[in-house]
Amino acid sequence: MPFKFRKRESVSRKAVLLVPLLSFAVSLLFGAIMLILSGADPVVTYLAMFGGAFGSTHGLSEVLVKSIPLILTGLSVAIAFRMRFWNIGAEGQLTMGAVAATGAALFWSQGWPSWTIMPLSIAAGCIAGGLWAGVPAILKATLNVDETLTTLMLNYVAVLYSEHLYYVTWRAPGRNSGTERIPQVAWLSRFLGRAHTGIFFGLALALVLWLIFRYTRWGFELKIIGSNATAARYMGINIARNIILTLLISGAISGLAGAVEVLGLTRSLQQGISVGYGYTAIIIAWMAQLDPLGVIFVAFLMAALLVGGDQIQMRMRLPASVGIVLQAMLLIPMLAGGLFRDYSLHWERPPKTDGVAGSMQADGMEAGGAED
């Protein structure tokens, strides 16, 4: 091969900034090809998506609404990914958080003073999410059971369980689906349309986690486990304990996302609680390079793509999944570009041999992947 990757002396700052920007451009370009092939005008579609997300107070409010669960689940995934624990169960943890928050607000807080209902409900959501992630964590820490599969399988279980609750067990009389509304004392207050104070949980947590990752021993341990588990073990870091502790926190944050969805937005457990935020969170965490403050920014961008997708569905009768495809398309060039952080690409002349024919022959052999 005439091209060779050579390890850089230090991480390229230019690549760290350029790669996400280029990924965004590639994503838009690919999306445009897809739109053209399916008979839609990409420029009109993108303008409609942008206008839908940022062109009105309503749009902006909806972007904030979707940012809230995305920031929280994004943080949840980022914590686990930092130690290379592949928690892809944020969706299920969010769903169980919503279930427990609803249960606490509607049924389990009877007889408690009314001001305790909101904190109880939020705590219940965190605990449920934490436990939902805790099971795979314990299985990983004790038996080394693959966590990608266990966390993912539990998503399906959680969603089926929540459906069973709002279609059957907890269904409010007179409704086709969905529980009763939770009592008003437990509601998170709203501003700017449907955006709600749940966003402050996300912003505060991001800041706290940023400080933890930067300045505490625990943050350092996560990083070491993530980059080199063997070295971590030699340094005396208790990996099993870290896995369980970290995942309880990771799950609790996703559970919190579910709880604030219920308390701030839907105010009952109903259809639409699980719409894939937990999967988008994976893209967010990786795009943000697992940095908590980066998560806020990327989550906002992803929320805008989702709202833009919803808008073109309403206005142009194009599938809202355009937004989802664009999101996933962001990650692919981002992954490809990750290499440029640590490596640079070089053009290397093949070694000279006798005459032009010999050099061409050598070229051909190299290109054909033959062994030298």
Partner 1 sequence: MTGLVALLTSILTITLRAGTSLIFGTVGEIYTERSGILNLGIEGMMLASAVTGFGVGYYSDSALLGLVVAACMGGLLAAVHAFLTVTMRANQVVSGLSITLFGTGLASFLGERLGPATNNHSLVGLIGPRFSPLVVPGLSQIPVLGALFRQDPLTYALYVLVPLAWYYLYRTRFGLNLRAVGESPLTADAMGVDVIRIRYLYTILGGMLVGVGGAHLSLAYAPGWTENLTGGRGWIVIALVIFAMWNPLRAVLGAILFGGINAVQFRLQAGGTTIASAYLNMLPYLITILVLVAMTWWEALSHRVGAPAALGVPYIREDK
DSSP letter at 272 equals: T
> In terms of DSSP H, where are the helices of the chain?
13-37, 42-54, 57-82, 90-103, 117-143, 147-164, 198-215, 217-227, 229-234, 239-260, 277-287, 292-316, 321-337, 339-342, 355-367
Is the backbone of residue 174 left (phi > 0), alpha (psi -120 to 50) or beta? left
Q: Which is nearer to partner 1, 45 or 67 (CB)?
A: 45
Q: What is the per-residue binding string for partner 1 in 306-335, x denoting contact by CB under 8 A?
A: -----------xxx-xx-xx-xxx-xx--x
Among 110, 144, 184, 189, binds partner 1 (CB under 8 A): 144
The DSSP element (H or E) to which 5 belongs, if any, is strand 3-7
Which residue is associated with the tokens 């007179």? 174
Q: How many CB atoms lie within 10 A of CB 67?
A: 25
Q: How far is the CB of 37 from partner 1 (least distance, A)?
A: 9
Q: Which is nearer to partner 1, 47 or 320 (CB)?
A: 320
Please identify, among the stretches 42-50, 66-74, 143-151, 203-211, the one whose residues bind partner 1 according to the rule CB under 8 A: 143-151
Interface of this chain with partner 1, residues 193 to 252, rule: CB under 8 A:
none
Please give the backbone phi and psi of residue 346, each rounded to the nearest 5 degrees, phi first: -125, 145
Among 43, 111, 113, 143, binds partner 1 (CB under 8 A): 143
Token pair for residue 23? 């990924």
Is 253 among the residues that bind partner 1 (CB under 8 A)? no
Is 336 among the residues that bind partner 1 (CB under 8 A)? yes
Q: How far is the CB of 211 from partner 1 (least distance, A)?
A: 26
Among 156, 191, 200, 215, binds partner 1 (CB under 8 A): 156
Q: How many CB atoms lie within 10 A of CB 218?
A: 14
Q: Which is nearer to partner 1, 153 or 208 (CB)?
A: 153
For partner 1, how many residues bind (rule: CB under 8 A)?
48
Q: How far is the CB of 81 from partner 1 (least distance, A)?
A: 8
How many residues belong to the chain?
372
Please identify, among the stretches 151-159, 173-181, 257-265, 359-367, the one whose residues bind partner 1 according to the rule CB under 8 A: 151-159
Q: How far is the CB of 45 from partner 1 (least distance, A)?
A: 12
Q: Classify each residue of 308-346 as buried b or exposed e, where b means 16 or more C-beta atoms within 10 Å of its C-beta.
A: bbbbbbeebebeeebbbbbbebbbebbeebbebbeeeee
Which residue is associated with the tokens 């588990």? 229
Binding site for partner 1 (CB under 8 A): 4, 34, 38, 86, 88, 139, 143-146, 148-150, 152-154, 156-157, 160-161, 163-164, 168, 279-280, 282-283, 286, 317-319, 321-322, 324-325, 327-329, 331-332, 335-339, 369, 371-372
